[in-house]
Structure 1
Amino acid sequence: MFKNEIYLLAAATALIVIILSLMLIYLVYRKTFEIKTRAQIEQMKKELEPKLLTYVMEQKWASALRVDSKVKKRALEELLSSLASVLQGEELTRNVARIADHQLSGYYKTELKSRLWSTRMNALFHIDIFSISSLEKDILVLLHSRRPSAEERHHCYRILASFNYHGLIELISNDPDGVSEFEYRHILYRINRNQYDQMVLSFYKFNDALKYAILDCIGMQKRLEYTPFLESVAEHTSGECKIRALKALISVGHVKDVNKYLILSKSREWQERMLAAKMFGVVRDKSLIQTLVELMHDQSWWVRFQAGSSIRKYPDGEKTLLSIYQNDSDPYARDMAWEWVNEGDGYTFDNNGLV
């Protein structure tokens, strides 16, 4: 009985040793193969680089630039990626895109059909970098032929936005699993004026995440032409949508009639009162000073803080804040005035005034 246990233990040990040895052999082989492949790629890059630069810089097509193996494709891919990251100028960027389209589009078309997620994502990454618009249909096939991952779908949407694909709005607004505000913003950063116009026309049909992303992007990109749209949204909506529209108007830095927003200073929502104070600091209309002084007495610290910030932006803002500090009976307003005057460039004061 004891001998049988020893034999079983020895057999198990031998099996483990064999398995570990095979794994070691595989890892050594794989590492050796990777080192060899990397050396081949680096050598090929040295051979391709002069020919590639000749075309990109001088637009002289090098007939010897034949990319007919996977190693050559990898080498060209790395060279083009490096060029795309450093080159400036529309013509040079177009030349890089032409080479990638001519030499690598077939390679990426095959990779998009791979069963490996990492391979498909790598293809999408480089299609995006090189703007290979000839693969638009293949990207649509990837979206519709099977169940792609969320990462693939979102990357496809970003690429299609860059290609100005006409059906993009329908795709992103009807995504089966939904798209986050963050991803929507990445997509919207790339769309053109025509697509923006379509978004604005269909705004109220969209889900909240897409609505918020549209408003945020208009503000962050300071699209002045959509000011009437933002004002309409701010006037006819409530809650978060209204807040986002007001923030966008403030970022754009222009409103048609600031007096329309005076009512916000009396809003029940402290966020709206705070945004009113911020807007009045952007517009800098002297008639708004008294409203800002009143907001310095608001029950919300954030509203008082923003009112003080806005007052300080006016030509005589420091004097107004000093007057509040010295003469106002509200201790909270006085504290905020003290804070903002001492935030001034080179300004400080004591009970006797500015020093």
Structure 2
Amino acid sequence: MRVDLTVIGWIIGTLIVLQVLLLAILVWRKILRNRTEQREQQRYAELLPEFVSHLYGETDLDVSKLKNDYRVAQRLASDIMSSTSDEGIQEKVQTTAFEALHKPYERALKDSSWPVRMNVLYYIQSFQMKGLAPLLRSRFEEMTVWDDEKKQLARTLASLGDLSILPAVFSDIQHSQKFYRDVLLRFPEEVDPQLLAYYEDTDNPSYQCAYLQRISDREAQEQIAQVEEALANDLIEVRMQALKTIGNLYFMRTPELLRPFFTSSQWQERMLVAQTVRKLHINAFSEELSQLLGDAEWWVRYAAAETILEVEGAERLNFYVENHPDSFARDMASQWLSTESKLNAHA
């Protein structure tokens, strides 16, 4: 029994020593981290006035000071980029950031740590480091798996205006529509002619839908011709995206192009055309909306009733409550009138 207690005592003593050592290591690491942060904060405060003075053309900046501490340089550039909308200042920040950071970033892109590589991709995008595009493109082409890193590489290269990624992104591999949209939306305005040319040449529905979303997100009403042309596309997903884009633009030149959608065999198109008429506030489709009010699909009836209420008014909807030949249409019209009355009562 005495031997057992001795062994237990040794084990407990060893565990206590190990815990003390671990605590000491953690404390020491914390002290070192605090010292590093204090030093970086001091360097940041020292370099900020000089950096700002350089950006406004008042003094020259010795970039070697930034190269010696890239974390401080990165923070300086990032903070200024996020605090100004002056394009001239932003361009100077980007130029200075490239001089100071491109070498550390080249090393970081080869780092074994995934978070380090991902983090630097975001900074390259933020600082618009086009000089690193060849390195990014090479890495993009080497990667065979479409993981998060390769997708972020695609987004970053798109933000740098690298059109070479389009065939790879819009290949037979099916990504989410959000990813396609993210990539196209990041391309700068100066490559719009090339993006349009690719749109006109390709029969890839993923690209076509993403391009129409780009028009919508950028509120590019001047491109309504491409959107209206897409209404006649053979693929339903492209036609539906064209309808959504028109609704989001609140504009179209030829409303008559909407007429075939009221009798579409796809209920989603019938619903979307009703919503589009409401957003554009078009008064030319009263008979078609009446038919959709009695549609077999609940969502189509719902959209039609909402549109009739907003475009033609409560009196017209009340007329359908009393006179529409379809009982489902009368019920939907009644529901919307009841909802409208409650909203007015609380207004």
Normalising TM by the smaller chain, what interval? Answer: 0.7 to 0.9
Change (3 A) 1:127 1:292: same
Amino acid at match of 2:89: L
Q: Does 1:163 align with 2:160?
A: yes
Identity %: 23
Instruction: Map 1:204-219 onto structure 2 (within 5 A).
Output: 204=203, 206=204, 209-219=206-216
Q: 1:281 touches 1:313 (CA, 8 Å); kept in 2?
A: yes
Q: 1:59 touches 1:95 (CA, 8 Å); kept in 2?
A: no
Equivalence for 1:274: 271
Q: Does 1:51 align with 2:35?
A: no
The count of residues paired between Structure 1 and Structure 2 equals 342
Counterpart pick for 2:309 among 307, 312, 316: 312
Deviation at 1:309, TM superposition (A): 2.1
Q: 2:67 touches 2:101 (CA, 8 Å); kept in 1?
A: no
Instruction: Map 1:192-271 onto structure 2 (within 5 A).
Output: 192-204=191-203, 206=204, 209-271=206-268
Q: Does 1:186 align with 2:163?
A: no
Equivalence for 1:352: none
Deviation at 1:246, TM superposition (A): 2.4
CA distance in 2, matches of 1:178, 1:299: 33
Instruction: Map 1:294-333 onto structure 2 (within 5 A).
Output: 294-314=291-311, 316-328=312-324, 330-333=326-329
Deviation at 1:38, TM superposition (A): 0.5
Deviation readout 1:222-258 (Å, 9 max, x if unpaired): 3334434334443232443432232223323444533
Change (3 A) 1:146 1:299: closer
Change (3 A) 1:49 1:15: same
Unaligned ranges ≥5, structure 1: 350-355
Q: TM-score, normalised by structure 1?
A: 0.84
Deviation readout 1:27-75 (Å, 9 max, x if unpaired): 1111111100000011111101101111223464234872243xx3212
Equivalence for 1:22: 21
Deviation readout 1:81-104 (Å, 9 max, x if unpaired): 111112012111111111101111
Q: 1:270 touches 1:303 (CA, 8 Å); kept in 2?
A: yes
SS of residue paired to 1:286: coil
Equivalence for 2:41: 42
Change (3 A) 1:275 1:166: closer
Deviation readout 1:196-235 (Å, 9 max, x if unpaired): 214313431x3x5544433333333333344343344432
